[in-house]
Amino acid sequence: MVIAVIAILAGLLLPVLAKAKGQAQKIACLNNMKQLQLAWQMYAGEHDDRIAPNDSRAGNGDNPYTPSWVAGAMCYETQSGWEAIYPQSTNTLLLVPGGYGSIGQYSRSPGIYKCPADTSWILLAGQRHARVRSVSMNDSMGTMYPEVFFYIFHKTSDIIDPGPAKTFVFVDEHEDSILGATFDVDMGFAGPDTWWLQLPASRHSGSGVFSFADGHAETKKWRDPRTVVPMKHVWRSEGESSPNNPDVLWLRERATSRKPAAW
């Protein structure tokens, strides 16, 4: 009888405990985002308002003088031919202090670069190792590549349309999508259909986590079930059609804006 009662109580308590754990992880993830955003703002404050560089090429980790807010690529051992960069997925020295152009000197703690609910791993020498980063930066922020049709923000004072409170800087990215430093958003250049170039995370009960240029961080509850997908331990690559997806449209509105003269 006693054992039966204990089993019933455990069955009632486990969902409550799981929900409480999930809520705590979401709060911790938001706090991490706020700290990263503060580091981003401190960098600009000490570099003549210039935004920290955001270069996907720094993902190779070979050149410490490639300017970027972070270095190191996140990958899986299932990505054949990428063996040389496997160890970067576990190397916190590519986060803090980081290389040339890094915000690592302001962020100080490597732990804030990863969502606590991210359980992704990479197999090295037959053992599982946790990966060290789940956060990427909006590709419209500080990227080195020229853009004809959409604004690229190089200084915080450039962030006018959309404004600082509506323009995201950091995004918690899906485990199977993250690779380098940047997060690409489909801006609709290729046609009316919506695409996921890279996929945001949905670890917090189907919600993503973002920081914005004005310093705040928030969660976004995804509306389309195609946005909420489980981790498969296989890299998704870039470019997946998702027609009429309202979540892609939400991101478009908060990534950058079109240059009027280019249309």
SS3 track for the chain: CHHHHHHHHHHHHHHHHHHHHHHHHHHHHHHHHHHHHHHHHHHHHCCCCECCCCCHHHHHCCCCCCCCCCCCCCCCCCCCCCHHHHHHHHCHHHCCCCCCCCCHHHHCCHHHHCCCCCCCEEEECCEEEECCCCEEEECCECCCCCCCCECCECEHHHCCCCCHHHCEEEEEECCCCCCCCEECCCCCCCCCCCEECCCECCCCCCEEEEEECCCCEEEEECCCCCCCCCCCCCCCCCCEECCCCHHHHHHHHHHCCECHHHC
Q: Is the pLDDT of residue 179 over 70?
A: yes
Q: Are 262 and 149 in contact (CB under 8 A)?
A: yes
Region of 244 please: left (phi>0), alpha (psi -120 to 50) or beta. left
Band (pLDDT 50/70/90 cuts) for residue 47 is: very high
Q: Which of 1-10, 76-85, 163-172, 186-195 has the lowest mean pLDDT?
A: 1-10
pLDDT at 115: 97
Q: Is the pLDDT of residue 2 over 80?
A: no
pLDDT at 19: 54
Of residues 51 and 67, more confidently modeled:
51
Q: Is the pLDDT of residue 53 over 80?
A: yes
Q: Is the pLDDT of residue 12 over 60?
A: no
Q: Is the pLDDT of residue 17 over 50?
A: no
pTM of the model: 0.90
- Please compute the mean of the pLDDT values over residues 235-246 and round it to a whole number: 91
Both structure tokens of 135:
């956060």
pLDDT at 190: 58
- Please compute the mean of the pLDDT values over residues 67-84 and round it to a whole number: 93
Q: Is the pLDDT of residue 76 over 60?
A: yes
Percent of the chain with pLDDT over 70: 86
pLDDT at 60: 57
Give me the long-range contacts of 216-224 (CB less than 8 A, separation at least 24). Answer: 216/34, 216/37, 216/165, 217/30, 217/31, 217/33, 217/34, 217/37, 218/30, 219/26, 219/30, 220/247, 220/250, 222/247, 223/247
Interacting residues of 40 by C-beta distance below 8 A, sequence separation 6+: 51, 52, 69, 103, 106, 169, 170, 211
pLDDT at 102: 93
Q: Is the pLDDT of residue 223 over 50?
A: yes
pLDDT digits (tens, 9 = 90+) for 91-150: 999 999 888 889 999 998 999 999 999 999 999 999 999 999 999 999 999 998 777 889
pLDDT at 130: 98
Query: For the chain, what is the mean pLDDT?
Result: 89
- Please compute the mean of the pLDDT values over residues 80-96 and round it to a whole number: 93
